[in-house]
Structure 1
Amino acid sequence: MNEIKKRIFVAGHNGMVGSAIVRQLSKVENIEIITRSRKELDLTNQQAVLEFFKVENIAQVYLAAAKVGGIVANSTYPADFIYENLMIQCNIIHSAHLANIQQLLFLGSSCIYPKLAEQPMAENALLTGTLEETNEPYAVAKIAGIKLCESYNRQYGRDYRSVMPTNLYGAHDNFHPENSHVIPALIRRFHEAKLNNDKEVVAWGSGKAMREFLYVDDMAAASIHVMELDKEIYDENTEPMLSHINVGTGVDCTIHELVETVAKVVGFKGQINFDISKPDGAPRKLMNVERLKSLGWESSVNLESGLTLSYQWFLKNQNKFRG
């Protein structure tokens, strides 16, 4: 008799994080990965999401679906970012509950923490100060997602967990010239400058801001690790009103150092200048990852290795990013 496979829904499977989770889960036996494209299932449509969960017999949910972008995108489309992310989260979490799905993992963001939070940022820094202005709508939506999970756990006894990744990068990233995060934007800019034999590349900001970066396959591995933790162990290391877990490397660098490393990986030999009229964002964003380490997981891909893998993926898929 064939063993019944555990059906796992990965929301956002075409995105950078969701696709990495699918890659990792594909290595596990006795599970069936369930995915739906945006055309097949509009996650902002409450009725459609509820009907999906009621008929699909899902055992676990990875909520990796989100509208994401860098400083420019967040500043330009604040209404889109708060509305779409709130709708996606509310629909999936509530519908999962109504369908009696006990296990769910919500993926948030390090931007949930105050702009001037003590470094490195521990989980208990949440809601202790003012958020960074440029991505406040997105951050508010992600905070709401954490509190949704906590509230369903408290009221209904669900096992809905949350992980807060630091800045992610890797395969299936968004390399759009205006709406991407810093690493894919730099990879594309340096690559095109190299092809054009440009003598100079201009980077945004002063270069002094410090950031932490995590390769996306590490994030996927951490997500599965947290999802599969015994509930007693998870509960012992979290609190009902502080249940999220930071995911990162615990190591940061200046944007200046990042820019130089990307240039090295891509092979750009020209001049690098910084446009100090552009915003730096928060001065520093480093995650305290001691809680995750105590639960038995640490990152394994260093920055230069991860950037090399990202650039290799970009080269294989660059036709997708023309224009």
Structure 2
Amino acid sequence: MPKIYVAGHRGMVGSAIVRNLIAKGHDPSRIIGRTHAELDLTDQAAVRQFFAIEKPDQVYLAAARVGGIHANNTYPAEFIYDNLMVQANVIDAAFRNGVKKLLFLGSSCIYPKLAPQPMSENALLTGFLEPTNEPYAVAKIAGIKICESYNRQYGTEHGVDYRSVMPTNLYGPGDNYHPENSHVIPALIRRFHEAKVNKTPTVTIWGSGKPYREFLFVDDMASASVYVMNLPKAQYEEHTKPMQSHINVGYGSDITIAQLAQTVGKVIGYTGQIDFDSTKPDGAPRKLMNSTLLKTLGWNPSVDIEEGLSIAYQDYLKKVLE
């Protein structure tokens, strides 16, 4: 049984990957992870030492500095620097220590702001990025290109097989519910829950409510990640290209932010009024992923938005009660 390192194993995606691996019969003792306090992935020497000692067979690179529009606007330097360093350090140390299989998790924000919808893999680097999260997007694009470059240079001689998956907007257990630095779903869950508890008559949402967004439950993302990691190399390469090897992972349909807010309110049981502050930024008008390639390879999501939000809300309530 392979020894698997999940970078970011306590994050929302990383912990879901660990759950999926264990559910599939992997020995928990063969799945390794390190907290930030135990291993700073921006520290090249520490990362190299970790890989030299642990010698994992597979790596899921799910560690990243992440956040919503506010966080991306407020901390652009940290978003580009930390993510670039983490990716470069982990991927290079994996190669230096004989790791043949690695999966890098990117983001849908790699695509141009006005990319044709739904966004397909070949839209990468065809236009300008969304300004509010450009530093994060540039770092994620670099991660894809690092994987492709190591495959290109070391694939034949060393058997390097580093793959990339691009998730749409994720949500679910383990999310970040910070009042300012969270993504849209956890932010809405917190806001609607507090409004319900405090009997607040109106909840105001950032933006016009008109942009469309696609959302994928995090355990579906974990399922897709493990699926792509374990696809036979010939099958994977048959459907990808050496310098365009990433695969989109989406739900397959999107909803407006206004529809999302109404659904969150329904799941939580909030009965007040929902308003929208159009003076706040909307971000990209639409970000629907074209996940045809992944479906062609045999994977489909299983959790719809209302079921996923119900599970996410229960997770939030546990955190509130802790």
Match of 1:246, as an amino acid? N
Asked if 1:208 is matched to 2:210, the reply is yes
Residues 10-89 of structure 1 aligned to structure 2 (within 5 Å): 10-31=6-27, 32-89=30-87
Which residue, out of 105, 111, 126, partners 1:128? 126
**Shift of residue 317 of structure 1?**
1.4
1:239 aligns with: 241
Give the Cα separation in 1 of the matches to 2:95 and 2:256. Answer: 42
**Shift of residue 104 of structure 1?**
0.1
Give the Cα separation in 2 of the matches to 1:88 and 1:316. Answer: 31
**Shift of residue 160 of structure 1?**
0.2
Uncovered stretches (5+) of structure 1, i.e. residues with no partner: none
Distance 1:30 1:315, change over 3 A: closer
2:178 aligns with: 176
Asked if 1:7 is matched to 2:3, the reply is yes
1:151 aligns with: 149
**Shift of residue 316 of structure 1?**
1.2
Match of 2:7, as an amino acid? A
How many residue pairs end up in the alignment?
316
Give the Cα separation in 2 of the matches to 1:292 and 1:68. Answer: 24
Give the Cα separation in 2 of the matches to 1:39 and 1:206. Answer: 40
- Range that drifts further, 57-66 or 26-35: 26-35
Match of 2:12, as an amino acid? M
Give the Cα separation in 1 of the matches to 2:192 and 2:168. Answer: 23
1:163 counterpart SS class: strand
1:303 aligns with: 305
**Shift of residue 250 of structure 1?**
1.1
- Range that drifts further, 111-120 or 39-48: 39-48
TM score, norm. by length of structure 2: 0.97
Percent sequence identity over matched residues? 67
1:274 counterpart SS class: strand
**Shift of residue 30 of structure 1?**
4.7
Any idea what the Cα deviations from partners look like across 1:173-201, whole Å, max 9, x if unmatched? Answer: 00000000000000000000000000000
Give the Cα separation in 2 of the matches to 1:34 and 1:311. Answer: 28
RMSD over aligned Cα, in angstroms?
0.8
Give the Cα separation in 2 of the matches to 1:316 and 1:174. Answer: 13
**Shift of residue 255 of structure 1?**
0.5
Any idea what the Cα deviations from partners look like across 1:208-231, whole Å, max 9, x if unmatched? Answer: 000000000000000000000000
Give the Cα separation in 1 of the matches to 2:107 and 2:153. Answer: 25
2:223 aligns with: 221
Uncovered stretches (5+) of structure 2, i.e. residues with no partner: none
**Shift of residue 319 of structure 1?**
4.3
1:241 counterpart SS class: coil
Give the Cα separation in 1 of the matches to 2:290 and 2:229. Answer: 20
Give the Cα separation in 1 of the matches to 2:133 and 2:10. Answer: 23
Give the Cα separation in 2 of the matches to 1:119 and 1:111. Answer: 13
1:109 aligns with: 107
Match of 1:6, as an amino acid? P
- Range that drifts further, 36-45 or 67-76: 36-45
Deviating beyond 4 angstroms after TM superposition, the runs of 4 or more aligned structure 1 residues are none
Give the Cα separation in 2 of the matches to 1:272 and 1:180. Answer: 20
Distance 1:299 1:78, change over 3 A: same
Give the Cα separation in 2 of the matches to 1:318 and 1:299. Answer: 29
**Shift of residue 57 of structure 1?**
2.0
Give the Cα separation in 1 of the matches to 2:320 and 2:4. Answer: 31
Give the Cα separation in 2 of the matches to 1:30 and 1:274. Answer: 46
Match of 1:22, as an amino acid? V
**Shift of residue 28 of structure 1?**
2.8
**Shift of residue 29 of structure 1?**
2.8
